[in-house]
Structures are given as C-alpha cells and as structure tokens.
Structure 1
Amino acid sequence: MKIEFRKGRSLFWSSALLAIFGTTSVSAQSPSFPIAQQINCDRPQGDAQVRTCIRLRYEASDQRLNEVYKQLISQLSGEERSLLSEAQLGWIQLRDKTCEFEVYKSRGGTGYGGFLNECLDRMTKQRTAELEQYLKQR
C-alpha cells in the first residue's frame, strides 16, 4: 500500500490509517479471479498462469505480514506502537521503491508484473521474519 501523508499529519492518524489499510501495496494488487483458484501453482501451464501464481504467492505473503504486524502492534502501547507504525509506513515505501528500481528495465515487458511481484514477495517475507523476531523477544 502506498500511503502518502501531508506534512503536519498527526502520528495518531498515520497509525490509524495503517491499522485500517494494513501493509498491502496498492500498486501490486490486482483483482483475484475465480479462475485463479483453478490453477495448479505446483504445475502452472503457460506464462499467464505463472504470473498469476507469482501474484497469489505475494498476496499470501502480504496477508501473513499483516497478521504478524497486527499481532505485534497489539502487544505494544504508546511510543513503541507509534514507532512501529511509523517504521512500517517507511518500510512499505522502501519496499515499493526498491522493487520498482529492481525491475525497472523490465517495464513494458510481459514479465514486468511477475518480476515486480517476485521482488515484493521476497521483501515481504524478509519483513515478516523481522517482525516475527520482535514477537519472540516480547
């Protein structure tokens, strides 16, 4: 999710928006079609199915990240909660810009969406592991 805040917006509202919208990148989302549920992602047939499976894998990773984030933020209070919320917003921007840079040369190509989702998936899994470590330390 790409969230941009005007200068002067309170941290309360920033935290509230992050809690409402989670951590999904809007630019990487696309509607899930019923046909996607019929695809065997262990053996995708053709490029379109491969791209769909990559997107579904990223969406599952993002959902897991949201679950871990909500679990962690529920254990925090006050300044810690605000700091994590602010850090997560910054991380979302870092992830999205890093992945856009990483796949920049593929823009306009048929594989661009797949490459972008692979990067988003990889970085999302890394962030989930980081947040899980914070949970273990609590």
Structure 2
Amino acid sequence: MTRAFALALPALAVLALAGPVAAEDCTTLATQLEMNQCAGRNFDAADTALNQTWRAVTARLAGDAAGLGKLKAAERAWVAFRDAECTFQSMGVEGGSIYPMIWTECRETLTRERAATLQGYLACEEGDLPCPLPPQ
C-alpha cells in the first residue's frame, strides 16, 4: 500500500461518515443562478470541513513554531494553487453565466481533497518518519 493511499484511507472514512459535509445536489435546480448559489453552499461546507481539520492539525503542532510556519507556508501556497488551477480549469466558460458554478465546483473538489490530505496527517503513527505530525 502506498503512503499516500494509507494516509487517505482514514480521511476518506471520516469524510464518508460526515453527513453535513456531503455536497448538495445542484443538478435539479431550475436556474443557473440557483445552481451557482448551490455550488457556493457546497464550497462553504467543504471549506468549513477543511477549517475544522486545520484546527486539529495546528493543535497537534502546538509548541512547534517551525512546524507551524511550514504548515502555514504550505497552506498559503496550496490556496494560491487551488485558485489558479480552478481559474485554468474553468477558462473554457469564462464570461458565461455557468463560470461561477464551474469555478466554485473546482474549488470545492480541491478543498475536499486538501481536507482529506490533512486528515490523513492526523492518522500518523509512531515510527511513520515521513509524516509531518507527531503521533497523538
């Protein structure tokens, strides 16, 4: 089993059990405005889940100023990447009424993936040398 897969398993289990984090089905809505707003709510839910996981990760790094600094630098870089990637992915519909939905859905997807990555760090075990967090 690869390390990335092993890290993702606990995160996927947590996300699967987290009912409020599940995305709302926006495909049944009548107007593009409603679909755009729905995508926004889904992103907000994903962002809330990410922030909860972030707090747990930073709590594990309490007292490790260097580790917190590296985590914050990584997170700033990740946010810049996420937004640039989503701008790139949605450039085919730029200027259209569907653009906000496509861009926001991309941000939701990448945010959920980042939350899963951080959640995986929380599952570090003693002796897991490449894991950035100390075991609980």
Determine which of 103, 119, 123 is the counterpart of 1:132: 119
Paired positions, count: 99
**Displacement after TM superposition at 1:78 (Å):** 2.0
TM-score by length of 2: 0.68
Moved more, 44-53 or 61-70: 44-53
**CA separation in 2, counterparts of 1:55 and 1:42?**
13
Paired position in structure 1 for 2:33? 48
Percentage identity across paired residues of the two chains: 25
Taking a change above 3 Å as real, the CA distance of residues 41 and 114 of structure 1, as seen in their structure-2 partners, is closer
Structure 1's unaligned 5+ residue stretches are 1-39
Determine which of 97, 107, 110 is the counterpart of 1:123: 110
Determine which of 34, 40, 43 is the counterpart of 1:58: 43
Paired position in structure 2 for 1:113? 100
**CA separation in 1, counterparts of 2:86 and 2:26?**
23
Following superposition of structure 1 onto structure 2, how do residues 26-45 of structure 1 map, counting pairs within 5 Å? 43-45=28-30
Structure 2's unaligned 5+ residue stretches are 1-24, 125-134
Q: Report which structure shows greater RCO (CA 8 Å, sep ≥6).
A: 2
Paired position in structure 2 for 1:83? 70
TM-score by length of 1: 0.67
Paired position in structure 2 for 1:13? none
Aligned AA (1:70) = R
